[in-house]
Amino acid sequence: MPEMKRIPLSDLRPGMVFDKSLFDNNYNIVLPARKPLDRATLGMLYNRGLSEVQTAGEIVEVVDESKIKASQPQPSTETDPHKKVVIDKEAAKHIEFYKNAIAKVNALYQKYKRGESLDANQFQQLAHEFVNTIMGEKKIEVWINLINAAGRGDYLSLHIVNTTILALLLGKKLGYSAVKLINLAMAALLFDIGMLKVPTYIVEKEEKLTPEEFNQIKTHPIYSYQVISRELNLPVEIARVGLEHHERFDGTGYPRRLKGQEISEMSRIMAIVDTYEAVTKNRSYREKKESYDAMRLILGEGSRKFDPDILKVFLSLMSVYPVGSYVQLNNKCIARVVASDSVSPFRPTVKIVRDEFGDTVENGEIIRLSKEPDLYIVKVVYSNEIQSGPNDSTP
């Protein structure tokens, strides 16, 4: 564990910014790194009866208290300012469901973290909400666009919601019945709950984990299994996902080094979507990968680490160029991928955002590349290369 120092609450002042997170005595984060301390947070610490906090960091600045509100992170569904994202009209209509889902997951997880017991019926109800809402939207790209737009907030809650959405989309593509989709949603909502048993300072560590710390991370599937099977008394097929989602098809995973069909099918689904979603989001110890690079990573490991049959279906769902990524066409136009093509994963549907002269195009043409033999993708364009673009809201 990094060397921590104790800071009396009486020494804290609104506006203070630390380069490392502040923790309470149980190593729960009370102020994230680089977030200015405000009066509300300071008051909350006093109300909890705390006399001090701990940190491995230092004060890096003190900002004007009147400017704190503007500098605070926005709600968890705010788009990442370092990533160019366009939310389509169809995706926008599901934002309230998405925000509420994140809030509900966060509330349930925080309740458990406080030592309170969980009610399996609450997860059952939430699973039904996910299945009914996601299955009610025929356009898969709507959900992928929404996932791509979310960049900040409580990492675990955001990851759980995004992974649940991807798992259900993949389950539907695999032909799962409504009952199986409910079970898959339950598993996705709970598979990472064991992370709450891992010390927070390790989960939120801003440097590379030590071997000892990584070994503690590797215990979370066992904790997940115990919570799901013993505390929530849910079926073993759901609990197995908590235990097996880090197992790999070639036997190189953990905790039991299972391989192939020894791993349950739902666990094999979660292994793919969990990996894809995790690497497309920023963490303190690594930068996010672009959607294309995340897909390339998964495809590169597919023949060894993931079920090849399920991976093929995931590829048809997402395409090699996932929704929201940018590409350059052979006519030198820059386009945004707006829909995948299950038959031709290398030829998705795109929308022109820059013409061949590099000028921004508003309400650009939508092109289904599988129907245009003379047009094709020549390279991926990374989001940081898109300096400016149309502020449209059309698909």
**Residue 394 located in a structural domain:** no
**pLDDT at residue number 207:** 72
Looking at the fold, whether 19 and 142 belong to one and the same domain comes out as: no
Domain CATH number, residue 23: 3.90.105
Q: What is the pLDDT of residues 308-333, one digit of tens each?
A: 999 989 888 877 677 778 888 989 89
Q: What is the pLDDT of residues 223-232, one digit of tens each?
A: 999 999 999 9
Distances (CA, A) of 246 to 163, 171, 309, 393: 14, 18, 18, 38
Looking at the fold, whether 259 and 136 belong to one and the same domain comes out as: yes
**Residue 72 located in a structural domain:** no
**Residue 165 located in a structural domain:** yes
Domains in the chain, number: 3
Looking at the fold, whether 48 and 96 belong to one and the same domain comes out as: no
Residue 332, by phi and psi: left (phi above 0), alpha (psi -120 to 50) or beta? left
Q: How many residues does the chain have?
A: 395
**Residue 365 located in a structural domain:** yes
**Residue 75 located in a structural domain:** no
For 212, the token pair is 């000892």
Q: What is the DSSP string of 83-149?
A: S-----HHHHTTHHHHHHHHHHHHHHHHHHHTTPPP-HHHHHHHHHHHHHHHHT---HHHHHHHHHH
**Binning pLDDT at 50, 70 and 90, where does residue 31 land?**
confident
Looking at the fold, whether 36 and 121 belong to one and the same domain comes out as: no
Looking at the fold, whether 133 and 198 belong to one and the same domain comes out as: yes
Q: Does the pLDDT value for residue 44 go beyond 90?
A: no
Looking at the fold, whether 300 and 341 belong to one and the same domain comes out as: no
Looking at the fold, whether 262 and 348 belong to one and the same domain comes out as: no
Looking at the fold, whether 26 and 160 belong to one and the same domain comes out as: no
Mean pLDDT value across the chain: 82
**Binning pLDDT at 50, 70 and 90, where does residue 71 land?**
very low
Q: Does the pLDDT value for residue 99 go beyond 50?
A: yes
Q: What is the pLDDT of residues 174-189, one digit of tens each?
A: 999 999 999 999 999 9
Q: Does the pLDDT value for residue 1 go beyond 80?
A: no
- Residues 162 and 195: their CA atoms lie apart, in Å, by 17
Closest CA to 263 of 247, 252, 276, 250: 247
**Residue 245 located in a structural domain:** yes
Query: What value does the mean pLDDT take over residues 127-143?
Result: 89
Which domain covers residue 33, as residue numbers?
5-65
Q: What is the pLDDT of residues 266-286, one digit of tens each?
A: 999 999 999 888 777 555 434
